[in-house]
Each structure stands twice: as C-alpha cells, then as structure tokens.
Chains A and B, each alone.
Chain A
C-alpha cells in the first residue's frame, strides 16, 4: 500500500461529480481509468486529499454517431471499447488504427478517452489525434458547460484549460472531408512504450489533386501536442510531390517542434526521427487521400 491517504468519493451521476468538484476545487483529483494517476499516487508524486472516482457513472461511457457524420465519445469510454467499436472504425479510421498502439491490453481495459485527454501527456497518441482531427471538447461545471477546440485545450506540460471545478464530459470528432487521408507513424524503444517521436497527419485533396488542407501534429516533440504549422503552410495549394513532402517534413523537424533530451533520446535524434516520420506520415496520408475518391 503506497498511495497516501485520501477521502474517496464514488458519485453515480455527473451532477453529483460536478457538485463535489465545485465544493472541493483544487483539493479534489478526478480518477478516470487511473492508468496514469495511480502510478503517480503509488510513487506519491501526487497526493490528492480527495479523490472523485468517475467509474460508477455509466452515463459518461458511450460512443455515439454525431449529427455531422462524426463521433461523440463520452469521456469515460474505455480504450478497449474505442478499439473494438465498428462505428469508430467507420467514422474515425485514424483513431481505430491507432488504438492497438496505445499501451498494453491490460491498460486499454481500464484507460479512458477523457482521462488521456485531460492528463494532457504530450507523448499520448489520443492527445495528438484529437488535435489532428480538429476535435472539440465539452467541459462542464455545476453551473453550465462550454466547448473548447482541441487545438486550444492543451496549454502546457500536463496542463489544459480545465478549471478545477470542470470536467471533460465529451469529445466530438468531426468527420474527415471527402478525399482525405490519414496516417500515424511513431518510433518507440519497444512497441507500445511511449513514443520517442510520433506524427499524426490528416490531409485533404481538392478535385485537381492539390493539397487543400493538412494538419500534422507531433507527439513527444514539446510540452504540448506540437502542430506543424509551418510545414503544413508549405503544402497548401501544392501538388503533394515527393519533393514537396520532403521539404515539409524538413521544416516540421527543424522549425515546428521543440523536443527535449532525456535518457531515452537526445533532442537531435528526436528531430531526425521527426523528419523521417513526418515524411512517411505525409506520404501515406496523401496516398490514402488519392485513393479515397
């Protein structure tokens, strides 16, 4: 038994959870799947006074079709549910393809979509994918709700715009436009470990086969999911030739990211990987977009 003592609450409705957060504010910590929080509590890196466990709120776990043709995911939807959902496979193939790469089967049984997003680990795949897919998050407190685009949600290392009294209750992922392609490439020391670098790309071609829109987000490349703004600007309106992709990947790796050095890899090696993986991700995404007519 390693975690420090805490007061445990297991509300059965979202309203009850929001009341607890309103009452306890910074003293309370939300427990979702616990696959990141509990290790930190075991190490006593985190010692919350009060734990609000969401695992008994069935209303927060769902995968619904969105009216726009996209997806609505309840924040307590488990990774395993997302991984095996035919609706996700149909409407968000990038998410479907990525799920088996996230941690291990035992972790995917417990880990949740909203938990991963709220934890805001810059090396988490779902954090990057939510930005690459231009998702939106519904945040609720006791008195109301607001929507925040994923691209504005992550503000720093493990830091989001969530207030202490707020709960991420739902993620909305819009459908990809026609003629779109996607890709996720990553390198880890062992498969399923945290990526040394990952790249998520979503691109859309116009009727002439030129790049109409592109979003590329890099994983483990800075304090937040790093959006490759400059690289993508180079591609817009251009034919996705091998040269154009190569140039964009180069810019992504040198100008769009801010990787750090640690025991696993130097920043320099991470930039090298970012260059190679950006190129491969863009190649695959554009190829799929061309096939997706």
Chain B
C-alpha cells in the first residue's frame, strides 16, 4: 500500500507544487517570459476556445428546445442555457480544451527540453530553470484560463441567442434580460473562481510531467499524454470539490 506508485506520484506532485510556492514569489522575477507565456497560453488558445464555446451554446440551445417546447417553456431557454453555461459547461469545457491544447504542449515542450539537456544548459547559464520555465507557465495558465472561460461563456451565450433565433424571433435585449434575471453572484463568482484552480492544475501537471520526463523520445510522448490525462481528471475532481464547497457555503 505504502509503496504504491500512485501515492509516490501524488507525493511528488505535491512536492513540486510546494516548490512552486517556495520559489515562485521570490526574486528574480521572470516578467518577460511570464508575459510571453501569457501570450502563448492565452492568445493562441482563443480560436479553439471560441469555436468550442460557440458550438457548446448552439448545441445546448438546439437540443433543449424540443423538450422545453413540450412543457411550453421555450421562454425559459435563455435562463436555463445561461445558468448551465455560466455555472458548469463554460468552465469545464474550456478547462478540458485548455488541458488538451496547453497541458500537452507544456508537457511535450519541457519534456523535450529535459531530454535534450536544454534544462541543464539553462541551469549552467546561471538561470533557475524552475523559475524560468515552470513558475512562468503555471502563473500564465492560472491567470489565462479564467479569462478564456469568461470569453467562452460570452461566445456560448451569443451562440445560444443565434440558436434561439433559428425558430422564432427574440431580440438580443430580451435574451440578455432573461439570462441575467436567472443569474445571481452566487452562480457567477464560484464558477469564475474555480477556473483559477483548473488553470493551476493544468499548468502544474503539464510542467511536472515535462520537467521530470524520462530520457528518450518515448518519454516526451508519455509526458504530453499523461499531462492531458492527469490534468483532465484533476479538473473533474476539483469541480466536484468546488460543488461541495459552494454547497457548504450556501451558494447552491
């Protein structure tokens, strides 16, 4: 039991996270690399997140319409879709897309740098590779995912408005009014805050897997693969925890 590889891995990830908090907030600050990573992680994910957000809103609206129509509740579609996207679908779908795109690329990039001794070369050049590579990427993913989620939510809601207008006519003002009337801060804020944790999970797992990649090209592939698998799983676990915490705080 105590020799379990699962426990050993969990312990190693916890240590890696501890190192992030120990080293991440002490100088020297790698501001330039951090901003560059924000650009890579945030800006370059925009098209992917935008498209998935749009499809998510559209499909959700089109799928729910027949059922809602059966109960004569079509006018409730904006409220229902708004709640679904803001509270759950937006954060989770965006985080999963983000894990697939960014988690894998961080895992592969750092893994390949480890295998070709580029991380050692950095250390020899007088650079702390943990700060330069890990801290900047984890901070970038933690801060960029919430922004991407807000954007995906907005695009998803707009897609829902488009979907509603496939049959019948609804004005944007009425649609917005319906969406907002169904939302409270207790819906929006916990959903927003949990995305910081999702972003942190994607960054820290991607960096951990890459930073400690095994030698050889197979090690790079394995690092990219397990970065996505583990961070996706962690996103669901964090989501479950977030539901429990918000319930305890009386937000549900």
Decide whether A and B assemble into one complex: no
Interface residue ranges, B against A (CB under 8 Å)? none
